């Protein structure tokens, strides 16, 4: 039986706080304010460690956006709601979103994009910091990607929350909040992979494996998994890869290797690393006549480049944010697909930890030992 707090009460709870750029996280007691108008306060049950969290902590350049609570791939239970919230009620199972869906703006009404004009996430980090009502030791904490799920409780705008099937296991479907939707959707929604096609997926983290799964789901005949970690080969086969290539084992550029394997290049390629050199390799690995290459990996540090002839000849180079899924609709749909056994989720999870073990989980990802580590934050 769940016990819910009054909406007027500040909640004191535990969170893993990143006080400084590049430093280990510290488990602290924080204060989470009551939800205001159009807000939902969520008790986080499970959250996973994503490379985007590590990017902000170790690679990103926005060092002023600290202290912060990282984490954005999560699932939980609505604890309380603010005025004006009618879609959610205490006890609802939900997944917080970094892609808002208000269903009212021109973006939400357009089938061409999953952007939302009312979104305050992602590029609006400074605004999220300024508006934050989560504090520790008298200091404001920035909820990373306007979520900050390495915490027992979070505050979300109702446009950035997806209600999910009450039968869904939260310690599994939390992965649908980022990695699985991002990779799977890049293949199915963005590239629109066709049955009988050939595909190459560069980078076999959770996003890349989800892209492999998406290619398989769409009916691709040949799916070539590319990674410099040989241990990823068997895992890729679980999700549908037919071939595995380690660029380090080759004596020529990977694009030439794939061209030889596929009579001129794959129909679809996916960069799921966040490395600009790999982005170009993925492009060059696709067919010069009609190849579609999709940038999925997240980075904002360097420019990427290609020769104009590589596009003039017939290739398409495009990006994919959250797999092209509209936040609320896409996540609910993916959870249903999991419950109907149409997609895999459990197979992505290689480790489970508790919130105080967050630094161990980060090391597992940094060292390439994990695909996804799920942190059990509280029982559901």
- For 184-319, list the strands marked E by DSSP: 198-202, 222-226, 243-245, 268-271, 292-295, 316-319
The reported pLDDT for the residue numbered 325 is: 97
Contact in structure between 49 and 359 (CB atoms under 8 Å): no
The reported pLDDT for the residue numbered 378 is: 82
Region 182-322: CATH code: 3.40.50.720
pLDDT tens-digit series, residues 309-368: 999 999 999 999 999 999 999 999 999 999 999 999 999 999 999 999 999 999 999 988
The reported pLDDT for the residue numbered 12 is: 96
Question: Rounded to an integer, what distance in angstroms lies between the CA atom of residue 234 and that of residue 309?
Answer: 36
The reported pLDDT for the residue numbered 122 is: 44
Mean pLDDT per 10-residue interval, the chain, length 380 residues? 56 96 95 96 97 88 86 97 95 96 95 87 64 93 94 96 98 98 98 98 97 98 97 95 97 96 97 96 97 93 90 96 96 98 97 96 92 86
- Domain ranges, ordered by start, for the chain: 1-177+344-376, 182-322
CA distances from 315 to 197, 259, 283 (A): 15, 14, 8
The reported pLDDT for the residue numbered 277 is: 96
Question: Rounded to an integer, what distance in angstroms lies between the CA atom of residue 215 and that of residue 226?
Answer: 14
Contact in structure between 183 and 206 (CB atoms under 8 Å): yes
The reported pLDDT for the residue numbered 301 is: 81
Question: Rounded to an integer, what distance in angstroms lies between the CA atom of residue 121 and that of residue 145?
Answer: 5
As a whole number, the mean pLDDT across the chain is 93
Which CATH superfamily does the domain covering 1-177+344-376 fall into? Medium-chain alcohol dehydrogenases, catalytic domain (3.90.180.10)
Cα-Cα-Cα-Cα dihedral sign, residues 340, 237, 75, 193: negative
């Amino acid at each position: 039986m769940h016990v819910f707090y009054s909406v007027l009460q500040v909640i004191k709870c535990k969170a893993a706080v990143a006080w400084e750029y590049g430093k280990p996280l510290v488990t602290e007691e924080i204060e989470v304010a009551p939800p205001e108008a159009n807000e939902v306060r969520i008790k986080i049950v499970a959250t996973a460690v994503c490379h985007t969290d590590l990017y902000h902590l170790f690679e990103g350049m926005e060092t002023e956006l600290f202290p912060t609570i990282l984490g954005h791939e999560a699932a939980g239970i609505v604890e309380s709601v603010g005025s004006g919230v009618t879609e959610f009620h205490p006890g609802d199972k939900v997944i917080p979103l970094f892609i808002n869906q208000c269903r009212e703006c021109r973006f939400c009404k357009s089938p061409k994009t999953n952007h939302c004009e009312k979104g305050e996430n992602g590029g609006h980090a400074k605004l999220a910091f300024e508006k934050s009502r989560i504090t520790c030791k008298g200091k404001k904490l920035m909820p990373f990607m306007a979520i900050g799920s390495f915490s027992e409780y979070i505050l979300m705008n109702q446009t950035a929350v997806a209600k999910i099937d009450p039968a869904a296991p939260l310690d599994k479907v939390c992965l649908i909040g980022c990695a699985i939707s991002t990779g799977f959707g890049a293949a199915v929604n963005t590239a629109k992979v066709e049955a009988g096609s050939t595909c190459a997926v560069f980078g076999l983290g959770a996003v890349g494996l989800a892209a492999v799964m998406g290619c398989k789901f769409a009916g691709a005949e040949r799916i070539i998994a590319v990674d410099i970690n040989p241990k990823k080969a068997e895992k890729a086969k679980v999700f549908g890869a037919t071939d595995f290539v380690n660029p380090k084992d080759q004596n020529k550029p990977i694009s030439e290797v794939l061209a030889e394997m596929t009579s001129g290049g794959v129909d679809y390629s996916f960069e799921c690393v966040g490395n600009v050199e790999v982005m170009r390799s993925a492009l060059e690995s696709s067919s010069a006549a009609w190849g579609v290459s999709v940038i999925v990996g997240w980075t904002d540090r360097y420019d990427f480049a290609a020769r104009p002839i590589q596009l003039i000849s017939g290739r398409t180079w495009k990006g994919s944010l959250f797999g092209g899924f509209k936040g609320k609709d896409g996540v609910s749909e993916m959870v249903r697909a999991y419950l109907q056994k149409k997609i895999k989720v459990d197979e992505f999870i290689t480790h489970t930890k508790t919130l105080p073990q967050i630094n161990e989980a980060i090391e597992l990802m940094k060292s390439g030992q994990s695909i996804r580590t799920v942190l059990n934050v509280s029982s559901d």
